[in-house]
C-alpha cells in the first residue's frame, strides 16, 4: 500500500484476473457424431453376423469367417466401452491390434483368446444393454434382447474356427463375465451399502446356487458312481428323444429369473443392478452353445427355447412372490404400482453414467 493510500485510508483494489471461458462443443456436432457412429456399428454387427450365420449352413472360407469374428470382437469392445462410459478409443485400438495380430499370424492360442474375449464381452454387453421394465411383459422383452446379443457373440466365438474345450471354455467365460459384471454393477448399483439385508440374501443365494450347480456337475462327471451317471444320461437321452432337446438348468433356474427380476427391480430402485449381474448365468453359457460341435444347430436352438420358457415362468413367480412381500397385492394395486414405477435411466444406446 502506498503512502497516499495510507493517508486516505483506502485500499488499492486487487486486479481481477480474466478467466477464459472454456470452449464447449456444439451439441449439434455431438448429436451428429452419435448418429454416424451408431448406424455404422449396427451395420458392421449385422454384416458380420450375416456372414457367420451363413457359415452355419454353407461353407465360408476360414479367412472370411475369422475376419467377421474379429469385427464382432472389436464392435463388442466399442459397445461395452460406450455403454459403461469408458475409453472408447483405447478399447477399440487395443482390441483391433489383438485381432489383427491373431489374424495375420494365425497363432492358435491368440485366436482362442480372442474367441474367449468375444464370449466375455458379449455376455457382459448383453446384460448391460437391457433397460428397466415396469411390467413383466417388458422384462421378458429385455431378456430376449440379452439372449439375442449373447447369441450373436456365440457366432463370433465359432467364427474363429479354433478347437476349444467346451467345458473349460464355458467355465472361463462364465467366471470372467461374472467378475466383470459385478465390478461394473458395483458402481451402477450404488455400492455394497445399497444392497440392504434382502439384497445380501439374494446375492449370496445366487452365488451359492451357481457354485453348487457347477460343483455338482463337475463332481458327477468325475466321481459319480456308474449307476448314477447312467441314470442321468438315460434321463437326458429320453428327454431329448421326447422333446428334441434338453433345457439348460443354470439358464432356466438362475440366469433368466435373475435377469428378468433385475430389470423389473431397476424400474423401481437402483439396486436392481445387483440382481442383473447374475444374468450372465444365461448370457455367458449362450455365447458358447454353438462351440459344441457334437450338438446340432436345431437342437441348440430348441434347448435355448425350452430354457427361456422355464426361466420366464420361474421369473414371473419370483416377481409375484417379491410383490407379495412388499405389499403389492391384487391386480388393481399392481397396475397402480407399475404405472408409478419409472426410475430414470439412460436409454439403451446411451452411456449409463
9 occurs within a structural domain: no
Let me know: does 152 contact 49? Beta carbons within 8 Å.
yes
- Which tops the pLDDT comparison, 13 or 196? 196
Q: d(Cα 122, Cα 204) in Å, to the nearest integer?
A: 25
pLDDT at 93 over 70: yes
**pTM as predicted:** 0.81
- Give me the mean pLDDT over the 317-341 stretch: 68
* Cell output for 193: 451399502
Q: Give the C-alpha separation, 187 to 185, whole Å.
A: 5
Which residue from 336, 184, 339, 208 is spatially nearest to 273, judged by alpha carbons? 184
Q: What is the pLDDT of residues 20-72, one digit of tens each?
A: 544 444 444 444 344 447 889 999 999 999 999 988 888 888 889 999 999 99
Would 348 be classed as within a structural domain?
no
Higher pLDDT, 296 or 14: 296
> Looking at residue 268, what is its pLDDT?
80
Q: Answer for the pair 125, 145: CB distance below 8 angstroms, yes or no.
A: no
Contact at 8 Å (CB) between 91 and 78? Answer: yes
Contact 188, 194 (CB under 8 A): no
pLDDT at 149 over 90: yes
For residue 237, the model assigns a pLDDT of 67
Angstrom distance (rounded) from CA 62 to CA 334: 53
Q: pLDDT per residue over 200-214, tens digit each?
A: 666 666 666 666 666
C-alpha cell at 56: 452355419
Burial class (CB in 10 A: 0-12, 13-18, 19+), 326: exposed
Residue 82 maps to a domain: yes
Q: What is the pLDDT of residues 217-256, one digit of tens each?
A: 665 555 555 665 566 666 666 767 777 778 888 888 888 9
C-alpha cell of residue 203: 446375492
How many domains is the chain partitioned into structurally?
A: 1
Alpha carbon distance 146, 312 (integer Å) = 13
Between CA 349 and CA 328 the distance in angstroms is 32
Q: Residue 218 domain-assigned? A: yes
Percent of the chain scoring above 70 in pLDDT = 70
Domain of residue 244, residue span: 32-340
Q: SS3 of 135, please? A: coil
pLDDT of residue 325: 72
Tell whether 111 is covered by a domain.
yes
Question: In which band, very low, low, confident or very high, does the pLDDT at 348 lie, cut at 50, 70 and 90?
Answer: confident
Amino acid at each position: 500500500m502506498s503512502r497516499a493510500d495510507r493517508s486516505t485510508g483506502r485500499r488499492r483494489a486487487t486486479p481481477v484476473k480474466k478467466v477464459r471461458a472454456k470452449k464447449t462443443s456444439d451439441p449439434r456436432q455431438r448429436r451428429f457424431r452419435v448418429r454416424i457412429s451408431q448406424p455404422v456399428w449396427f451395420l458392421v454387427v449385422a454384416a458380420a453376423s450375416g456372414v457367420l450365420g451363413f457359415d452355419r449352413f454353407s461353407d465360408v472360407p476360414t479367412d472370411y469367417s475369422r475376419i467377421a469374428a474379429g469385427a464382432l470382437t472389436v464392435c463388442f469392445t466399442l459397445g461395452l466401452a460406450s455403454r459403461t462410459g469408458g475409453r472408447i478409443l483405447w478399447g477399440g485400438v487395443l482390441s483391433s491390434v489383438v485381432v489383427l495380430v491373431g489374424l495375420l499370424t494365425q497363432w492358435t492360442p491368440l485366436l482362442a483368446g480372442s474367441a474367449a474375449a468375444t464370449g466375455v464381452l458379449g455376455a457382459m454387453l448383453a446384460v448391460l444393454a437391457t433397460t428397466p421394465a415396469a411390467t413383466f411383459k417388458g422384462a421378458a422383452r429385455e431378456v430376449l434382447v440379452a439372449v439375442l446379443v449373447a447369441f450373436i457373440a456365440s457366432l463370433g466365438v465359432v467364427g474363429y474356427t479354433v478347437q476349444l474345450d467346451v467345458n473349460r471354455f464355458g467355465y472361463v467365460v462364465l467366471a470372467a463375465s461374472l467378475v466383470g459384471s459385478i465390478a461394473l454393477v458395483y458402481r451402477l448399483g450404488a455400492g455394497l451399502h445399497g444392497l440392504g439385508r434382502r439384497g445380501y440374501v439374494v446375492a449370496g443365494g445366487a452365488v451359492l446356487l451357481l457354485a453348487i450347480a457347477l460343483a455338482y456337475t463337475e463332481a458327477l462327471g468325475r466321481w459319480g458312481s456308474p449307476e448314477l451317471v447312467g441314470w442321468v444320461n438315460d434321463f437326458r437321452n429320453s428327454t431329448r428323444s421326447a422333446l428334441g432337446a434338453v433345457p439348460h438348468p443354470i439358464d432356466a433356474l438362475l440366469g433368466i429369473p435373475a435377469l428378468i427380476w433385475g430389470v423389473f427391480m431397476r424400474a423401481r430402485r437402483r439396486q436392481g443392478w445387483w440382481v442383473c449381474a447374475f444374468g450372465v448365468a444365461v448370457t455367458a453359457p449362450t455365447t458358447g452353445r454353438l462351440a459344441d460341435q457334437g450338438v446340432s444347430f436345431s437342437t441348440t436352438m430348441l434347448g435355448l427355447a425350452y430354457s427361456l420358457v422355464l426361466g420366464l415362468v420361474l421369473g414371473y413367480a419370483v416377481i409375484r412372490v417379491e410383490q407379495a412381500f412388499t405389499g403389492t397385492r391384487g391386480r388393481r394395486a399392481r397396475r397402480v404400482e407399475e404405472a408409478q414405477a419409472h426410475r430414470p435411466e439412460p436409454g439403451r444406446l446411451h452411456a449409463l453414467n
